[in-house]
Structure 1
Amino acid sequence: MNTTPAQENLLPSARFLAGLAAILFIPIVVCFFLPEVPAWADYPGIIFHLAIFGLVSRLPAPEWGRAAGYGWLVVDTTVGVMTMHGIGEEIFAPIRFGGHIFAGIWIVSASVGGSRLLQILGVISGLYLGGFTFVSTFLPMQALAPASILVTVWLIIIAFYDGNGRKEA
């Protein structure tokens, strides 16, 4: 079901949502460099994913790309709640990595219509994030840190350059 223009106006802009998501994701990125992930890290992570829900609807992408984005958000938000409740990494990590395949699909599909910088960052971020799933059994979780940094920069580029249209960055 498509939304009406009046319903779309209830959502904050893509610039605002991307900026909010980037700010909320920074503590998660920092956690990759800590010896142990603090219990509070789940909260900004869940709110980050909820902020992205609006961004998925705001960025131009094919329907299948948006569907992948929404699928990722449902999976990763659920996994965040699972970790809040003490579910172990052996259960939540494969589920999260499966969701990251769909995150990669959405990020790439939402990037191709943007500036050259957004295209490059989006393709690299999406491929790294989704592709990590296929090597995650061989690498430590910290090897996912570059993808998190790339996604944060991608969100910042949307917030500053591409959020209100498709300007050249």
Structure 2
Amino acid sequence: MPTMKAAKPVRDAGHDEMRGDSPMHGNQRTSLPGGALAAYAAAVLFIVSLARFFFIPRLGLPASSPIVAELNGGLLPVAAHLLLFPVIAALPAPPWARAAGYGWLVIDIVTDVMALNGVADTIYLPMRYGGHVSAALWIAVASWQASGMLRIVGLLLALDLGGYSFIPHGPIAFLIPSGPLLPLWFALVGRHISRRRRPAGGQPEAFDQ
């Protein structure tokens, strides 16, 4: 007489997912969005860029050294700005504010390359400060839509960057606060992007339009 095999219990995929047994679910909890990673990386590069004023003189290299040129106005600042393109795309803001952010990046990259090629600072710096007005607009609008420290630091940064541009031949000391505020704000932006809620399916939210 044939024997009947006991049926194997069917696992409830939904129950397993709630318990966190799904490998995909675990990966989604531990991975960071690309915009957040870019924001953190940009914050690090801006810190290094700020620190270069202290460690470059200790290198004992002449001002005409290619290494000094790349650190001051070449590879280092350009790389930091290139990282910000996905950050602007990921941080919630109206399209016109994002356009202002992209415009700032283009202007800053252009003026960095101008400085690298020996263009006089009386030519490229006013262009750079004009780009800071565009940066201040994006930073202020994006920060206003957030809350907490991100909003406070962002509004202070926007005020310093944008306000200084309207002071003809203003003392550079007025722009110094933006040095530490910039990497701090992007670190907060990275945390903000990584904490954005995900729908039940685990997919990231669509970018705000």
Give your verdict on TM over 0.5.
yes
Are 1:16 and 2:46 an aligned pair? no
Aligned to 2:189: 158
Aligned to 1:92: 124
1:127–1:105 CA distance, 2 compared to 1 (3 A): same
* Cα drift, residue 34 of structure 1: 7.5
Structure 1: give runs of 5+ residues left out of the alignment.
1-11
- The structure that is helix-richer by fraction is 1
* Cα drift, residue 23 of structure 1: 1.1
1:20–1:152 CA distance, 2 compared to 1 (3 A): same
Count of residues in Structure 1 that have an aligned counterpart in Structure 2: 154
Are 1:67 and 2:99 an aligned pair? yes
Counterpart code for 1:74? V
Q: CA RMSD in A?
A: 2.1
Counterpart code for 2:42? A
Aligned to 1:40: 70
- Among candidates 103, 125, 128, match of residue 157 of structure 2: 125
Q: Identity rate of aligned residues, in percent? A: 36
Structure 2: give runs of 5+ residues left out of the alignment.
1-32, 58-62, 198-209
* Cα drift, residue 70 of structure 1: 0.6
Describe the SS at the equivalent of 1:87.
coil
Map Cα deviations across residues 124-151 of structure 1 (whole Å, 9 max, x no partner).
10111111111251213x5322112101
Q: How far apart, in 2, do the equivalents of 1:32 and 1:136 lie?
A: 24
Map Cα deviations across residues 26-72 of structure 1 (whole Å, 9 max, x no partner).
12222456897831222110011111111111100011110100110
Q: How far apart, in 1, do the equivalents of 2:39 and 2:125 lie?
A: 25
Counterpart code for 2:136? G
- Among candidates 165, 170, 189, match of residue 138 of structure 1: 170
Structure 1 runs (4+) greater than 3 angstroms displaced: 31-38
Counterpart code for 2:192? D
- Structure 1 window deviating more from structure 2 (102-111 vs 23-32): it is 23-32
